[in-house]
């Protein structure tokens, strides 16, 4: 049963990717296609960060391990959408013109923090297999706490690029802070 549910979550997680692919191939991206892809992939990265962070609280509240079974997969989707987001910026927006890209990373703080978040995702993606969980033991948990920093960097990236916290960046920031505060509460009570 759990296997079917897991496959269902996998298919659902792919839907945003299928939707943006459909929009690209059928010219449904509107007047600013690159902006549309960047915004779409950026927002879905943030949504998957929130989903990943929701899994341990859900496990605690429902007493079901199902949430933990899909947590690593959701984490990999964070990396997947973040990489699509980065590739849109590097390959479509700047056509691999490295000089302005490096300039952006150094000079624009929202690009710098977004890029840092993506870099921090790499070790998590590389150690996401069951084998690595077994191999790293307690260190796996410690390493994967990087997702908290990534979540904060992601919301800062959104606030800084929007130049205001109102309203979408504020909503994501509050959701992330709430999910992080639950962890402190859950730790204290366990």
Write out the residues near ligand HEM by the rule CB under 6 A.
Answer: 38-39, 42-43, 45-46, 82, 85-86, 89, 111, 114-115, 117-118, 150, 154, 157-158, 161
- Residue closer to ligand HEM, measured from CB, 76 or 117: 117
Does the CA dihedral 127-69-13-183 come out positive or negative? Answer: negative
Q: How far is the CB of 66 from ligand HEM (least distance, A)?
A: 25
155: number of Cβ within 10 Å: 25
Tokens of 32: 């600013």
| Element holding 158 (H helix, E strand) | helix 146-162
Q: How far is the CB of 51 from ligand HEM (least distance, A)?
A: 12
Cis bond upstream, residue 167 (ω within 30): yes
- Residue closer to ligand HEM, measured from CB, 70 or 79: 79
CA 87 to chain CA centroid, nearest Å: 15
Instruction: Reduce the DSSP state of residue 97 to 3 states and report it.
Output: coil
- Residue closer to ligand HEM, measured from CB, 39 or 60: 39
- Residue closer to ligand HEM, measured from CB, 20 or 111: 111
Q: How far is the CB of 103 from ligand HEM (least distance, A)?
A: 12
- Please, what is the angle between helix 66-87 and helix 33-62, to 10°? 170
Q: How far is the CB of 76 from ligand HEM (least distance, A)?
A: 13
- Residue closer to ligand HEM, measured from CB, 46 or 179: 46
Q: How far is the CB of 62 from ligand HEM (least distance, A)?
A: 27
What are the counts of helices (DSSP H) followed by strands (DSSP E) for the chain?
Answer: 9, 0
CB-nearest residue to ligand HEM: 42
């Amino acid at each position: 049963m759990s296997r079917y549910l897991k496959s269902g979550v996998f298919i659902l997680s792919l839907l945003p990717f299928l939707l943006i692919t459909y929009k690209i191939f059928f010219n449904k991206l509107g007047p600013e296609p690159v902006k549309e892809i960047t915004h779409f992939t950026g927002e879905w990265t943030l949504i998957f960060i929130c989903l990943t962070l929701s899994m341990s609280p859900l496990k605690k509240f429902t007493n079901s391990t199902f949430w933990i079974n899909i947590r690593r997969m959701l984490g990999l989707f964070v990396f997947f959408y973040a990489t699509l987001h980065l590739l849109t910026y590097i390959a479509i927006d700047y056509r691999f013109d490295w000089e302005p890209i490096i300039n952006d990373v150094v000079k624009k703080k929202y690009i710098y923090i977004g890029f840092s978040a993506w870099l921090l995702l790499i070790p998590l993606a590389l150690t996401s297999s069951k084998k690595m969980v077994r191999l790293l033991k307690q260190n796996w948990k410690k390493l994967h706490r990087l997702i908290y920093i990534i979540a904060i960097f992601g919301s800062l990236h959104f606030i800084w690029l929007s130049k205001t916290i109102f309203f979408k960046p504020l909503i994501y920031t509050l959701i992330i802070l709430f999910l992080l505060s639950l962890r402190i509460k859950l730790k204290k009570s366990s």
